[in-house]
Amino acid sequence: MIPDEILHREGFCYLNTRASHLLFVLRKDGRIVQANDSATRVTGDNIIGKNFCEVLVDFTWKADLHSFALDSSEEYIMSIGTVSGLPQSYYFTFQQVAEDIIAFGRLDVEELESMRKEILVLNQELNNATRELHKKNATLKRLNAEKNRFLGMAAHDLRKPIGLLMTYSGFLVEETADVLNSEHLGFLETIHASCGNMAQLVDDLLDVSAIEAGVFPLRLEHVNLAALFSASLEPNRVQACQKGVQLDVDCRGLSGAILDAAKIEQVIGNLVANAIEYSVPGAVVAVRLTCDDRFIRFFVQDHGSGILPEEVGQLFKPFQKASTVKTAGERSTGLGLLISRKIIDAHSGKIWVDSQPGQGSTFHFEIPAQGDNHRDTDEYPFDRLSI
């Protein structure tokens, strides 16, 4: 048998140095005069001389140690501010010994155990869900790539026969004008015009499938903006003239810029063509291109029927057409704005529309004037953000 006093001494020594329990000896006013190693470790501080309330995470509530010490069998949950910055709860009992109060704090092992188990399970579930999501993501990516390939192949294979149809129907229209009656000639002209629409659709689909497949490289080059602008508008001028729409073009102070000329021409051409198509004969379409050191800004404004607010968000998505109709019943593939957005996105720019139903629409885009640095270098553009 080990004598009691040795047991007490060893027990106390253990409590003082190794045990995870907290032990404080407090003066009447709450001042800490003694604390075990665990208390010092947990609080990470020299706590001797401090008031016991200072080591607690303090809300409005104040610990009334004397009343606590009246019944030493009662336990009180108190949170200690720990060295990690997050609080830890201990179950405290207080005991009056002569003039001082001894405070013991214990962790509730069962409670911690159940939290540990629960967090383990939650983490497992989270991990499994993440795995499943990654797997589904991979499948979706694969399916999407297959769809793009299919779309690309179909569009590519259709291009040739449509081209043939267009050429030969064109020949027929020209060469049989005096042989056929006007009704049959009308049929032929419809076939020819439809072939044109089909060819445009196929070209757009090819663009979209290239964009979707991520094979849509920008050929960034130094360009003269004024020359690019006038080249972009060339087809639009013919179109406007045919429809009797007036183009009001302004592009003062343009300098050089770095961009993919063919693609930006495509965007400008497309946006201006839309504006003309939604204008009535005699109307004015305003086209502006400006440029400063940092940005190229473009807008085209028509006075057509405008776009309903609930349709604005859909405009730049595939096959979306506004419910309003083009003034001469012109056809479109519903892909033009999507392609424009993708081109502007690839230039790290922004494209948007302001529209008032009944008053017309203004389509804008804005792209960096000197190319998009971070895409080229793969570096984070911290230099352009100031913190």
Partner 1 sequence: MISSQLYQEYLNCLLEGKRLDCTRIVQDLLDRDIPIKALYNDLFEKSLYRVGQLWEFNRISVAKEHLATAITEGLLNLVYPRLFELEHQHKGKRIVISCAANEFHQIGGKMVADICELNGWDAEFLGANMPLDHMLLHIQETKPDLVGLSLTVYFNMSSLKKGIEVIRSNFTHLDIFVGGQAFLWGGTEMLKHYSGVEYIPTLNDIEKSIKES
- C-alpha 273/C-alpha 71 separation (Å) is 88
Length of the chain: 387
Within positions 180 to 239, which residues make up the interface with ligand B12, using CB under 6 A? none
Half-sphere exposure of 300 (CA within 13 A, CB side): 21
Contact map string, positions 86 to 105, toward partner 1, x by CB under 8 A: xxxx-x--------------
Q: Which of the ranges 179-187, 240-248, 329-337, 378-386 carries the binding residues for partner 1, by CB under 8 A?
A: 378-386
> Whose Cβ is closer to ligand B12: residue 86's or residue 387's?
86
Question: What is the nearest approach in angstroms of partner 1 to the Cβ of residue 70?
Answer: 18
Q: Where are the alpha helices (DSSP H) in the chain?
A: 4-17, 37-43, 52-55, 65-70, 109-175, 182-212, 225-243, 261-277, 309-312, 336-346, 373-377
End-to-end CA distance of the chain: 70
Distances (CA, A) of 66 to 25, 69, 134: 13, 5, 58
Q: What SS3 state is found at 260? A: coil
Contact map string, positions 37 to 66, toward partner 1, x by CB under 8 A: ----------------------x-x-----
Q: Does 1 participate in binding ligand B12 (rule CB under 6 A)?
A: no
> Whose Cβ is closer to ligand B12: residue 56's or residue 272's?
56
The DSSP call for residue 44 is T
Which pairing describes strands 284-291 and 360-368: parallel, antiparallel, or unpaired?
unpaired
> Whose Cβ is closer to ligand B12: residue 115's or residue 238's?
115
Within positions 78 to 107, which residues make up the interface with ligand B12, using CB under 6 A? 81, 85-87
380: partner contacted, choices partner 1, ligand B12, none (Cβ within 5-8 A by kind): partner 1
Question: What is the nearest approach in angstroms of ligand B12 to the Cβ of residue 82?
Answer: 8
Within positions 308 to 367, which residues make up the interface with partner 1, using CB under 8 A? 310, 312-317, 350
Question: What is the nearest approach in angstroms of ligand B12 to the Cβ of residue 57?
Answer: 5
- C-alpha 327/C-alpha 244 separation (Å) is 12
Amino acid at 329: G
The closest alpha carbon to 205, from 341, 321, 335, belongs to 335
The DSSP call for residue 317 is S
Q: Are 278 and 284 in contact (CB under 8 A)?
A: no
Q: H or E stretch including 34?
A: strand 32-35
Question: What is the nearest approach in angstroms of ligand B12 to the Cβ of residue 105?
Answer: 17
Number of chain positions touching partner 1 (CB under 8 A): 38
Contact map string, positions 123 to 142, toward partner 1, x by CB under 8 A: --xx--x-------------
Q: Does 2 participate in binding partner 1 (rule CB under 8 A)?
A: no
Which pairing describes strands 32-35 and 76-81: parallel, antiparallel, or unpaired?
unpaired
Of residues 13, 70, 97, 112, which one binds partner 1 by CB under 8 A?
A: 112
Task: Please give the distance of CA 274 from its chain centroid, rounded to a whole number.
Answer: 28
Of residues 7, 97, 119, 140, which one binds partner 1 by CB under 8 A?
A: 119
> Whose Cβ is closer to partner 1: residue 159's or residue 297's?
297
Q: Does 57 participate in binding ligand B12 (rule CB under 6 A)?
A: yes
114: partner contacted, choices ligand B12, partner 1, none (Cβ within 5-8 A by kind): partner 1
Task: Please give the distance of CA 33 from its chain centroid, rounded to a whole number.
Answer: 56
Neighbours of 58 (CB within 10 A): 12
Q: Does 115 participate in binding partner 1 (rule CB under 8 A)?
A: yes
Footprint of ligand B12 (CB under 6 A): 57, 81, 85-87
Residues that bind partner 1 (CB under 8 A): 59, 61, 76-79, 86-89, 91, 108, 111-112, 114-115, 118-119, 121-122, 125-126, 129, 310, 312-317, 350, 380-382, 384-387
